[in-house]
Amino acid sequence: MSGPIRYLLLALIPTLCITRGIAQDGDLPLNDEVYHLIDRYDIQGRLPEAIPSTLKPYGREVVTEWLRQADQTGLRRRALSWQHRSRILVDDDYARENGGEGLGYTFFTNHRDLISWQVYKGPDSIYLDERGLKRARKGGPFNAKVFINPVVYGGYGLEQTDLGTESSRTVYRNSRGASLRASLFGKVGVYTEVLDNQVGPPVFFQERVRARSAIPGEGFYKTFRTDGYDYLSAKGYLTYSPVKPVRIKLGRDRVHWGDGYQSMLLSDHATDYYMLNFHTRIWKLEYMNHFTQMIDLIPNKPDAIGAQPRKYGVFHHLAFRPNKKWSIGIFESVIYAPVLPNGNRGFEIQYLNPLIFYRTIEQYVGSPDNSTLGLTGKVNVLRRLQLYGQLMIDDYNFAQRANGSGYWGNKFGLQGGLKYIDVLGIETLDMQLEANTARPYTYAHYNISANYAHYNQPLAHPQGANFREFTGILRYQPLPRFFVQATVVWLDQGLDQNGQNLGADIFRANGTQPNDFGNTIGQGLRYRQLQVQGRVSYQIWWLNAFVDAELFVRAQDVPGPPPDRTTWATLSLRWNIPHQPLKF
């Protein structure tokens, strides 16, 4: 544990010991099917309050309360079944009440978990009073819960590529492990998970790995056979609420900040990292402090030269949610590295200040760091529509506008989106449209170690910068156990050309641009990409287990070589693993 975070926790120990906590648990994993149901209820105004939908993952205990209190007026049979199945997956008490004897009175007693153990009251005790007589003391609340589950993903498919000559190959994923989730004394939540993985991904995915020496969303890996990868993945964290409005989380995980499919602020594209965050809700305000320790990856680093270099990120998000119809938020962040070109700077303890404008500190210490600002917002309309968006400002110099257009240092990203539920009156048929764009050189920095990335993976949009992207998604649940989803993504990006830094690669240093003015989105080598994904999922019994049949078509067009077209289909079983969409 790093020194500053250790000191911060020591300062919190008295609070942890003397305050009465609120029931705590782990988070609902990102990309879980329940997130979409919560989106629907948010748009329809069925939830009891304006929810903090921008900051994901949601705490499981919070989602449990939302589903318990959701207004079910007017829900039809299919929607009620969806609600029922989602509650079993999320709400521990509801799952236990709707369970049975299970297998051998030991396994799946709540229809969901392999092993579940719940105790809600401590035992009675005997004590001696002041006269030496035996007395009975009634047991107090204990409220301990433990759930142990296998975590499994087995998938196999066939890839067909067109790279000038036709060829086919197998693609596969084999992941197996276990997870433990617990709630202790109604105060502390615990979650830990470990997975051993072997994957044989499509050809274009391998090219991405070779380019960055990193598997998107994962950490250290080894090659497996001739065209695959072998790696371990693990996460684990503690949660605690000293008082009802405050939730603290410490451990290794990832987040996604935004209401969209992608995020221009902070996404779950990069692998897990060490974090400490404080989530506070008071009145109509919501405030998040997010402190992180990340890795500035050195590919193929010899063990003899020591550990991978560290880098740090600090993030604030303040949201105002006056009612269930709309909300607006302000975002800020700083990414900084302890090593600068002029020497070792060490940890910048000033950034631990939870209530300050980070740009002020960044300028005070000499502007060596990568700071950003942002805005978020959403509006629910007519109980059918949601409009949402993000603005991320990496840097903007208004004075340079007098010198010409397209100044390279005016760096920002935009997102705009629409969610439309029950399209044309068809129950559970939902549509989402989203547009994202980022100007050249956004997210990069003079000090490459301070770029907006972790483990050689972007922290925001996976394509980096200098792009336009349009996404369309259709989701449908024709039967209680069936989920159908179709996703189309079109990307138009300008890549570096002839060795020049034209603004797409966030891993190149600022100050190496060929032109200060005249920079436009898409400049450079024109790269266009179309991705189409189709998925049908079937839930097995009441388990958090699904059989997925997927079809994926990807075409890219780069001047020079012939078009690269890839098609593959897979059949897979996942158990206690959310579906992970391919977003790049």
Q: Does residue 454 carry a pLDDT above 80?
A: yes
pLDDT of residue 117: 87
pLDDT of residue 558: 74
Residue 61 near residue 456, CB atoms below 8 Å: no
More confident residue, 35 or 367: 35
**Which of 225, 229, 47, 224 has its CA nearest to residue 216?**
229
**Which of 334, 582, 298, 317 has its CA nearest to residue 463?**
582
Give me the percent of the chain exceeding a pLDDT of 90. Answer: 61
d(CA 289, CA 283): 17
Instruction: Name the residue with tokens 């890996």.
Output: 221
Give me the percent of the chain exceeding a pLDDT of 70. Answer: 86
pLDDT of residue 354: 76
Instruction: Identify the band that residue 583 occupies on the pLDDT scale cut at 50, 70 and 90.
Output: confident
pLDDT of residue 14: 37
If you average pLDDT over residues 77-88, what whole number do you get?
Answer: 90
Instruction: Identify the band that residue 19 occupies on the pLDDT scale cut at 50, 70 and 90.
Output: very low
Q: Does residue 85 carry a pLDDT above 80?
A: yes
The model's pLDDT over 456-483, given as tens digits with 9 standing for 90+, comes to: 999 999 999 999 999 999 999 998 899 9
Q: For domain 3-575, give the fold.
A: Porin (2.40.160)
DSSP helix/strand/coil, 335? strand
Q: Does residue 176 carry a pLDDT above 90?
A: yes
If you average pLDDT over residues 399-425, what whole number do you get?
Answer: 93
pLDDT averaged over the chain?
A: 87
pLDDT of residue 154: 96
How many residues in total does the chain contain?
A: 584
Q: Does residue 166 carry a pLDDT above 70?
A: no
Q: Does residue 575 carry a pLDDT above 50?
A: yes
Residue 289 near residue 318, CB atoms below 8 Å: no
If you average pLDDT over residues 140-152, what whole number do you get?
Answer: 83
The shares of helix, strand and coil residues in the chain, as percent rounded to the nearest 5, are 15, 45, 40
If you average pLDDT over residues 147-160, what whole number do you get?
Answer: 95
If you average pLDDT over residues 125-142, what whole number do you get?
Answer: 57
The model's pLDDT over 362-381, given as tens digits with 9 standing for 90+, comes to: 665 666 788 899 999 999 99
* Domains of the chain, residue spans: 3-575
More confident residue, 8 or 281: 281
If you average pLDDT over residues 386-409, what whole number do you get?
Answer: 91
DSSP helix/strand/coil, 503? coil
What sign does the dihedral 477-479-480-485 (CA atoms) show?
negative
pLDDT of residue 131: 62
Instruction: Identify the band that residue 341 occupies on the pLDDT scale cut at 50, 70 and 90.
Output: low
- DSSP state at residue 187: T
Instruction: Identify the band that residue 124 occupies on the pLDDT scale cut at 50, 70 and 90.
Output: low
Asked whether the whole model's pTM tops 0.85, one would answer yes
pLDDT of residue 357: 67
If you average pLDDT over residues 548-564, what whole number do you get?
Answer: 81
The model's pLDDT over 311-321, given as tens digits with 9 standing for 90+, comes to: 999 999 999 99
Residue 120 near residue 97, CB atoms below 8 Å: no
pLDDT of residue 13: 40
DSSP helix/strand/coil, 556? strand
d(CA 475, CA 428): 8
Q: Does residue 10 carry a pLDDT above 70?
A: no
